[in-house]
Structure 1
Amino acid sequence: MFDRHGKPCAIWDNTKIRDRHGKVIAWLGGDNVYSLKGQHIGWFDGGVIFDSTNSALAFSRNRTTGLPSVPGLSGTPGMPGFAGTPGRPGHSGTPGRPGRRGWSNQDAAAYLGA
């Protein structure tokens, strides 16, 4: 996945988001993104991760959801070996989703790994 500057920031791995080194940093549950502790931190829609304010945070090359603007993409780095998958916690409730906004001011890798 790429950040607002088109730089690789995370790996979408089915129901997990991994950092650039292959470590699981967030969970996907349907259209929701959860921290490793199970707290709701955003939404996943058509290959785009939105933060808790519904601002675009990261996107996949083959996304189907629109972006506020599309940056030029850096080269895709080699795929790392994947670390083991931690136990998946129960997920917190899902808040109502606000209207879509522009790009998030958050650093995608830091936000997802927090």
Structure 2
Amino acid sequence: MNEWYFDRYGQASFIVVDNERFVSKYGRNLGWVHQGKQVFSLTGQPLGWLEKGVLRDRKGGIIAFTRWAGNWLPSVPGMSGEPASPSIPGPPARPGFSGTITDPGSGSWAGKSIRDFFGADL
């Protein structure tokens, strides 16, 4: 089963499929998980870090979280219900990943939306 990730307002936004790619609630591929924790765009650009159910940008700002990640958040918003599982698209061609990303450390909520983070339409 895929775990839903919620934005800073508590809205279910995406899932991680096969521990390797992000898929929006509308069934669109958004990005990749590389080496278990590094997050990259669909084109292979470094974006952030995924650990303990929390997605953070390269500055440590929190972008999204799972229901069980509450201990790792500065505050927990009220959460929406989980939508039905989206239709899972096939994986796009896996890009070359440019560089590596290190753990940015914990921060507060990021000032960008999930759409801005991935640079993709949800």
- Which TM-score applies when normalising by structure 1? 0.89
Deviations 1:3-44 (A, max 9, x none): 011011111212111111122111001211000011110000
2:115 to 104, 109, 114: 109
Structure 2 unmatched runs, 5+: none
Alignment-derived partner of residue 20 in structure 1: 25
State the 1:99 CA deviation: 3.7
Where does residue 9 of structure 2 map in the other structure? 5
1:36 aligns with 2:62: no
Secondary structure class of the residue paired with 2:83: coil
- 3-state SS of the aligned residue for 1:10? strand
Normalising by structure 2, we get a TM-score of 0.84
Number of paired residues?
A: 114
Q: Write the distance in 2 (CA, Å) between the matches of 1:39 and 1:4.
A: 23
Per the alignment, residue 76 of structure 1 pairs with 82
Q: Take 1:71 and 1:96, find their aligned partners in 2: how far apart are those partners?
A: 27
- Measured after TM superposition, the shift of residue 2 of structure 1 is 0.1
The share of aligned pairs that are identical, in percent, is 39
Q: Shift of the alpha carbon at 1:67? A: 0.8
Distance 1:45 1:65 in 2: 12
* Equivalent residue, structure 1, for 2:94: 88
After the TM superposition, list the runs of 4 or more consecutive aligned residues in structure 1 that deviate by more than 6 angstroms: none
Cα RMSD after superposing both structures: 1.7
Counterpart of 2:67 (choices 54, 61, 79) is 61
Question: What amino acid sits opposite 2:24 in the alignment?
Answer: D
Answer 1 or 2: which has greater strand percent.
2
SS state of the match for residue 9, structure 1?
A: strand
On the 8 A contact 1:68/1:102 being kept in 2, the answer is yes
SS at match of 2:68: coil
